[in-house]
Structure 1
Amino acid sequence: MNRVNGTPVLPVISLAQLIARKPEAVAQLHDACVHDGFFYLVEHDLSAELIKRYLSAAQAFFALPESVKQRFGHHRQLGYPRTARGYVAAYGETLHPDAGPDNKQHLDWGIDRCGGAPFSGPSVLPDKHVAPDLNASAYALQDEVMEHLFPNLRRAIATALALPPHAFDAHFRRPTLIQRASYYPANSGTAGKHTDNGFLTVLIQQPLPQPSLRVHTRGEWRDVPCLEGAVLVNLGDLLQRWTNGRLVSTAHQVLHRQPDARVSLAFFIYPDIDASISPIGGGQSFSTAEVMLDNFDSIWVRKQGAGRARQLV
């Protein structure tokens, strides 16, 4: 088990070694995906300066008056579903029904495409006069994640499954993305127990002295501290279903009790919205659209939480 400051944490995996197809790195990835569903990713080539800019710009946005932020709320969005983009105030989202509404704010982006498909945009977001550098840094980091990190990681996962490296590629010609900046207030920020719904999530945590993220892995809840230079990756329900349960989507939550506020940056990545997916090894096919729309309906309409929240106690 890898350790940070004496605290047991998740596996630490090098994307550079995965790209080079180092057997030990591929084996480590396979073990993490089968048993943990969460891991630190290092040597990923995301710009540290760009991450710093994005975190700073997000902090400045969340510090704006609520009346300003509400100008970019769900009721102002133009795409479908409206809940896929824009600003949500504290206690506006419930990730686990028993825990109640989460004490966090968030702002969602996506990949803006015309054509009217679900989860495609356009987005109504604060411009540079309201939130300097926010969109510029957000979209720039989106490009780095979606054009370099994710394709290489996706192919490494295929290799770890003993599939051809490009086995998943046909379903990611125009991938779907929910990109989120979240704000957790000092001493009381929360996000209820849930699983992520997509293929995988890339998560960047603001570096703080004590962990706020908790992950249920290998039979126990573990606090997950920040690791300098690393991003976190966790697998989603769609990938678990795609692999017939061979790879695991892991429950997690946020309990933020530190004296400073916390900002995190997440990229929830899905296949093409019109993709029809046949599980590896057999089973009923399913579509990206039905998976995403059902999850958003569960969160925002049925109020039953995110992912497999209803199965978590």
Structure 2
Amino acid sequence: MTVIERIASLTVVDFEALAKNDSKEIQKLVQACQSVGMFYLKLGDSRLKSVYEDIPSLIQAGNAFFKLPPDSEEKKQSIREGMERGYHAAKTFQYYEIARNEYEQGQWTMPASLAPHEERISRTLRSLHHAIQTILVKLCAAVQVDIPELNDDAAIPSDTALKLVYKPPIQEPGAIVQPCHTDFGLMTLMWYDAVSAQIPIYDTEGNRTEDWQAVPVVEGAVLVNIADELEAKSGGRLRSTVHRAVTPPGPKQVRNGLVYLLRPYMN
């Protein structure tokens, strides 16, 4: 069990200002990605406000699927062996990952529990894809990084996906659910309903220490972080964020997350 007293203070980038090429907002984005590699993207006052506000309803729909018995036909039919996409279950969490390229080409079959919510799923997937693509285009232009794979053609095979995450109330507060890691791909966008993400504390020389700080939930915003491929393509100028997931403080309860992973190539 881990007790974290430090709270991370991350930059809040306004999506609407970013989309309008506001130079100050772009500079805030660049500084955040060159230092911590993680920032909040404010959506609550943007053109994507309705999509952001709809995420809890999508989470609730996903939970109806996750709470089915492990041997249910829906879950068995949703398993994709050897791949992240589809349904996966571990001891401390479950997730369901929808591959963007298959979905947009009409090759994806939803579990029966999620099928009635397909319009909401489609709207969420496309809106978050637009948001994360917008961030990446503005960022790469500002730091002069070329991403040849950055293409909006859903017919091109990729690992870009929308993921619903369900964590049952079985672990004690402060338990490490996912050890420290960085993400593969270009960029990750996350919505979560409790303080569960942590990032390390760095010393004055920029070296990572053994201490951690909690990343709070900011109303109206999602969390975005740089991933390994973008750090590599920028020659290390953009930082792939080291982070981990823990059980938040307070009584045991179900925890949910929604993740959009921008990975425009096959791993």
- Normalising by structure 1, we get a TM-score of 0.68
Deviation per CA, 1:240-285, whole angstroms, max 9, x where unpaired?
11111110101111111442111100011122x3xxxxxxxxxxxx
* Greater relative CO, 1 or 2 (CA 8 Å, sep 6+): 2
Give the match for residue 36 of structure 1.
36
Distance 1:214 1:125, change over 3 A: same
Would the aligned equivalents of 1:40 and 1:233 in 2 still touch at CA under 8 Å? yes
> Within 1, Cα distance between the matches of 2:238 and 2:162?
23
**Which residue of structure 2 aligns with residue 267 of structure 1?**
260
Q: Which residue of 2 aligns with 1:126?
A: 111
Match in the other structure for 1:89: 89
User: Which of the residues 254, 266, 272 maps onto 2:245?
Assistant: 254
Counterpart contact for 1:180–1:266, Cα < 8 Å: yes
CA RMSD of aligned residues (A): 2.6
Matched-pair contact (CA < 8 Å) for 2:19–2:134: yes
Number of residue pairs aligned between Structure 1 and Structure 2: 239
Query: How far apart are 1:178 and its partner, in Å?
Result: 2.3
Q: Residues of 2 paired with 1:212 and 1:8: CA distance?
A: 12
Q: Which residue among 158, 169, 176 is the counterpart of 1:186?
A: 169
Q: Which residue of 2 aligns with 1:161?
A: 143
User: Which one of 89, 92, 95 corresponds to residue 106 of structure 1?
Assistant: 95
Taking only the aligned residue pairs, the percentage that are identical comes to 24
Q: Match for 1:198: what amino acid?
A: G
Structure 1: unaligned runs, 5 residues or longer = 1-5, 92-102, 115-119, 274-288, 293-313
Query: Which residue pairs with 1:13 in the alignment?
Result: 13
In structure 1, C-alpha distance between the alignment counterparts of 2:244 and 2:106, rounded to whole Å: 28
Q: Give the corresponding residue for 1:96.
A: none
Q: Distance in 1 between matches of 2:133 and 2:198?
A: 27
2:192 paired residue number:
205
Q: Aligned partners of 2:25, 2:201: CA distance in 1, in Å?
A: 20
- Establish whether residue 226 from structure 1 lines up as the match of residue 217 from structure 2: yes
Look up the equivalent residue of 1:50 and give its one-letter code.
D
Which amino acid counterpart does residue 158 of structure 1 have in structure 2?
C
Q: Residues 35 and 217 of structure 1 are in contact (CA less than 8 Å); yes or no, is this contact kept in structure 2?
A: no
Of residues 112, 116, 134, the one that matches 1:152 is 134
> 1:25 corresponds to which letter in structure 2?
E
Mapped contact 1:215–1:252 kept (Cα < 8 A): yes
1:215 aligns with 2:202: no
How far did 1:48 drift? 3.0
Q: Is the contact between residue 8 and residue 216 of structure 2 (CA under 8 Å) also seen in structure 1?
A: no
1:45 pairs with 2:34:
no
User: How many Å separate the matches in 2 of 1:187 and 1:10?
Assistant: 30
**1:186 aligned partner, one-letter code:** P
Instruction: Give ranges in structure 2 of 5+ residues lacking alignment.
Output: 1-5, 203-207
Q: Distance in 2 between matches of 1:90 and 1:248?
A: 29
Asked whether the equivalents of residues 110 and 121 of structure 1 are also in contact (C-alpha less than 8 Å), the reply is no
> In 1, are the aligned partners of 2:196 and 2:247 still within 8 Å (CA)?
yes
2:3 is matched with: none
Q: Which AA in structure 2 matches 1:137?
A: R
What TM-score results when the alignment is normalised by the length of structure 2? 0.79
Give the Å deviation of 1:182. Answer: 0.9
- SS of 1:67's equivalent in the other structure is coil
Amino acid of the residue matched to residue 186 of structure 2? F
Deviation at 1:123, TM superposition (A): 4.0
Deviates more, 1:23-32 or 1:213-222: 213-222
